[in-house]
């Protein structure tokens, strides 16, 4: 029969292992004196290390996602100077499988209060973190939908009320017309109002259709194929203005997206670049894709008239906003583009300088 102290030690070890497994928490330590590292049994299980694996400081960072390695290095340096740390990080198993972990580390002191090592615990919280991220995405989606619904309600209220007021006033004037000539002019006005109402309703239907299509299945589509389709449809405008379109999709050649949306985005932005060209030079349009962290981005840049963002920046994506009155435009294209991008949880930004040009950046 083992001595009581040995039984107590085995019991404590049993409870520790059971708690570690139940909480999916692994322990680790670094000894500065012996220059050795240690992973307990649960840490090895979580990290899926092979039998016989010997941990070391030189390989420790391989267990963290690249974007978190600098943070971990700083935390470790602070820990070596006596500062504990805790936080949520993205880690990697030995075979590079990602998981989320809650990490805690604290310094180990000797009898004269010198830091002689660091020990810590990390807990696999992937399930809880994924639920949190899903909730955040859902809240962002709801917020985006509420914003678009609010804007849509404002558009309906403002534009249809305006048309209704014009219609009522014209009808009243028609009832009291004093001559055939005045009656003809008022009837002509009624036809124009009717056309404006029809145009507004068509635009509103287009916005409703965007929301309906947002639920469609995405497909893997080539940026170059979409660009070729759009430039083919705009070939008359491109030739007549002597426009040049340059593209580079080498960094991100394709994307999972709704084809009709991407085609519409290209069409609206390229059309604007041609329509609002500078009168003293040919339109030059540069288009490229690139990766920003884990997001795919699209940039469309031109050398056109540009927009005074200090004056119009807050209105640039609003419906029926035009900033160059001498050019025929209905002010709908950018509004539609923004709604399409945001319907799929993306964002669009603009940089512009008057008489220099405009750059749109879309993050998908």
Among the candidates 70, 90, 124, a domain finishes at 124
**Judgement on whether residues 16 and 57 belong to the same structural domain of the protein:** yes
Comparing 10 with 246, which gets the higher pLDDT?
Answer: 246
Could you tell me which of 211, 338, 325, 314 has the C-alpha nearest to residue 265?
Answer: 338
Whether residue 212 is predicted with pLDDT greater than 60 in this model: the reply is no
Rounded mean pLDDT, 246-266: 88
Decide if 247 is inside a domain.
yes
Quote the pLDDT of residue 246. Answer: 93
* Confidence band of 7 (pLDDT split at 50, 70, 90): very low
**Judgement on whether residues 189 and 112 belong to the same structural domain of the protein:** no
* Confidence band of 97 (pLDDT split at 50, 70, 90): very high
Rounded mean pLDDT, 299-318: 79
Three-state DSSP class for 88?
strand
What percent of the chain is predicted at pLDDT more than 70?
Answer: 76
Decide if 335 is inside a domain.
yes
Quote the pLDDT of residue 350. Answer: 86
What is the CATH number for 292? 3.30.565.10
Whether residue 336 is predicted with pLDDT greater than 80 in this model: the reply is no
Comparing 232 with 207, which gets the higher pLDDT?
Answer: 232
Among the candidates 75, 94, 124, a domain finishes at 124
Mean pLDDT of the chain: 79
Give Cα separations from 104 to 26, 54, 61, 83, 159 (angstroms). 11, 22, 16, 11, 57
Whether residue 1 is predicted with pLDDT greater than 50 in this model: the reply is no
Quote the pLDDT of residue 56. Answer: 84
Among the candidates 213, 234, 259, a domain finishes at 213
Three-state DSSP class for 66?
helix
Comparing 179 with 202, which gets the higher pLDDT?
Answer: 179
**Domain total of the chain:** 3
β pairing state of 219-222 and 254-257: antiparallel
Comparing 47 with 233, which gets the higher pLDDT?
Answer: 47
**Judgement on whether residues 333 and 220 belong to the same structural domain of the protein:** yes
**Judgement on whether residues 193 and 249 belong to the same structural domain of the protein:** no
**Judgement on whether residues 287 and 335 belong to the same structural domain of the protein:** yes
Comparing 303 with 172, which gets the higher pLDDT?
Answer: 303
Quote the pLDDT of residue 11. Answer: 37
Rounded mean pLDDT, 238-253: 90
Whether residue 196 is predicted with pLDDT greater than 90 in this model: the reply is no
| Residue 96 main-chain phi, psi, to 5 deg | 70, 25
**What are the structure tokens assigned to 356, written together?**
């220099």
d(CA 221, CA 262): 9
Comparing 326 with 47, which gets the higher pLDDT?
Answer: 47
Whether residue 250 is predicted with pLDDT greater than 90 in this model: the reply is yes
**Judgement on whether residues 148 and 239 belong to the same structural domain of the protein:** no
Decide if 132 is inside a domain.
no
Q: Which of 111-120, 162-171, 245-254, 302-311 has the weakest average pLDDT?
A: 162-171
d(CA 75, CA 105): 9
Comparing 103 with 218, which gets the higher pLDDT?
Answer: 103
Most confident segment among 2-16, 51-65, 157-171, 209-223: 51-65
Chain-centroid distance of CA 173 in Å reads 52
Residue range(s) defining the domain that contains residue 18: 4-124
Model's pTM, two decimal places? Answer: 0.50
Decide if 315 is inside a domain.
yes
**Judgement on whether residues 65 and 174 belong to the same structural domain of the protein:** no
Whether residue 170 is predicted with pLDDT greater than 80 in this model: the reply is no
Whether residue 207 is predicted with pLDDT greater than 80 in this model: the reply is no
Quote the pLDDT of residue 100. Answer: 92
Rounded mean pLDDT, 324-340: 66
């Amino acid at each position: 029969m083992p001595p009581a102290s040995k039984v107590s030690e085995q019991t404590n070890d049993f409870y520790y292992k059971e708690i570690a497994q139940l909480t999916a928490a692994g322990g680790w330590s670094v000894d500065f004196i012996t220059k050795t590292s240690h992973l307990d049994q649960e840490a090895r299980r979580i990290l899926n290390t092979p039998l016989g694996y010997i941990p070391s400081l030189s390989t420790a960072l391989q267990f963290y996602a690249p974007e978190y390695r600098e943070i971990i290095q700083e935390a470790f340096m602070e820990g070596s100077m006596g500062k504990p740390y805790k936080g949520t990080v993205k880690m990697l198993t030995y075979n590079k499988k990602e998981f989320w972990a809650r990490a805690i580390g604290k310094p180990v002191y000797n009898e004269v209060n010198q830091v002689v090592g660091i020990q810590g615990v990390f807990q696999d919280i992937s399930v809880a973190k994924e639920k949190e991220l899903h909730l955040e995405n859902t809240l962002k989606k709801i917020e985006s939908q509420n914003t678009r619904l609010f804007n849509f309600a404002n558009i309906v209220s403002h534009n249809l009320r305006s048309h209704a007021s014009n219609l009522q006033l014209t009808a009243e004037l028609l009832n009291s017309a004093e001559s055939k000539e005045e009656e003809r002019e008022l009837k002509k006005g009624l036809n124009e109002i009717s056309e404006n109402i029809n145009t507004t309703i068509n635009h509103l239907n287009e916005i409703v259709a965007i929301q309906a299509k947002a639920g469609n299945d995405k497909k893997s589509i080539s940026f170059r194929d979409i660009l070729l389709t759009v430039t083919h449809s705009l070939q008359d405008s491109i030739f007549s203005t002597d426009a040049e379109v340059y593209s580079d999709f080498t960094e991100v050649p394709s994307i999972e997206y709704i084809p009709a949306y991407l085609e519409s985005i290209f069409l609206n932005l390229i059309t604007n670049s041609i329509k609002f060209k500078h009168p003293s030079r040919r339109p030059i349009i540069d288009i490229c894709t690139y990766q920003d962290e884990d997001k795919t981005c699209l940039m469309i840049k031109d050398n056109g008239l540009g927009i005074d963002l200090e004056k119009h920046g807050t209105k640039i994506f609003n419906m029926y906003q035009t900033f160059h009155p001498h050019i025929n435009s209905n002010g709908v294209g950018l509004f539609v583009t923004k709604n399409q991008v945001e319907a799929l949880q993306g964002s669009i930004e603009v940089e512009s300088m008057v008489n220099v040009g405009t750059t749109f950046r879309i993050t998908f």
